[in-house]
Amino acid sequence: MAKRFGGKYSPTPGQVGGKTGSDPAPRGTFQGADVDPVGARSNLLFLPPVLLGFFSLNDGALGMALGLTAAGVLILAAWLLRDGLRAEAAYTARKVAKRPAIPRKIFASMLTGIGVGMAAYKNDPGLIAPAIFALAAGGLHMASFGVDPLKDKGLEGVDTFQQDRVARVVDEAERHLSAMTDAIQRAGDRQMEARVERFQQTAREMFRTVEEDPRDLTGARRYLGVYLLGARDATAKFADIYARTRDAQAREDYAALLDDLEQSFSARTRKMLLEDRSDLTVEIDVLRERLEREGVRL
């Protein structure tokens, strides 16, 4: 009769990877990783103004001034487009968000049209041809990259005051995470950078949970404020120490801190989800009782 092989490193029945089936699966390094919304198309828009400025150097004083000005306008347009794409991606990823304060993509399309019109005027002085080129360039730019979000995004049934509270707290928490990213890069350790990214993914799961139900904000405020602020400061201190000394003990202590924080954030998020499910169960029971009183049998 066949006999199942077992040993120290073999999972027992009911386990997967040495963990029970009830334990959450380990998170992969790239699970939930954010992709930079700035793609090759937007980066290529920096090339035409560079070429325009280079070829304008031998066009005389007026031609050079006009060409360099047009190149500067096009570079500003490309830079605004990059920021607009990132702002749009952040807006899309969140459940509750305000529209971007500055419509960067729209301004980028307008500046692209102005820059192309100025470049066309340099080679063909007049009004009709530069205007045609400007309108065509601005229109094609807007058709290619779209426009900015023009209205706030929230959840139905949640008042504006609650949405604003959640948006402010989440914005502040995102700034703490961004500061952690900037700080850990100074350490020059790719593994620790990936470890910080994994913790940030766990923290953002809590962000999304709070955005879906602002009532959870009261219980999560300490995590989104005090704990993330402490994590930011600890990351900055670790990066400064490790960049100078490459202290293995400091690296180990910091990794242990991230483990503790990740477990704490995950536990709190699961608790909020369970509370939300309990609220749903209560609502279902109440609705069933009302239906039964009305003579409706389920």
Expressed as residue numbers, the domain containing 220 is: 160-293
Residue 23 lies in a domain: no
CA 120 from chain center: how many Å? Answer: 38
pLDDT at 3 exceeding the cut of 80? no
Residue 27 lies in a domain: no
Residue 121 lies in a domain: yes
Residue 171 and residue 127 share a domain: no
Q: 7 in helix, strand or coil? A: coil
Residue 268 lies in a domain: yes
Tokens standing for 46? 């920096």
Tally of domains in the chain: 2
Lowest pLDDT segment from 91-95, 241-245, 292-296:
292-296
User: Within 13 Å of residue 176, how many CA atoms lie on the same side as its CB?
Assistant: 23
Query: Among 145, 177, 209, which residue terminates a domain?
Result: 145
Distance CA 158, CA 288 (A): 25
What are the residue ranges of helices labelled H in 103-215? 104-123, 128-145, 160-185, 190-212
Residue 136 and residue 96 share a domain: yes
pLDDT tens per residue across span 49-96: 999 989 888 888 888 999 999 999 999 999 999 999 988 887 887 766
Residue 231 and residue 114 share a domain: no
Residue 100 and residue 48 share a domain: yes
pLDDT tens per residue across span 214-233: 777 777 888 888 889 999 99
Q: What is the CA radius of gyration of the chain?
A: 27
Residue 211 lies in a domain: yes
pLDDT tens per residue across span 167-221: 888 888 889 999 999 999 998 889 999 999 999 999 988 888 887 777 777 778 8
Distance CA 50, CA 72 (A): 9
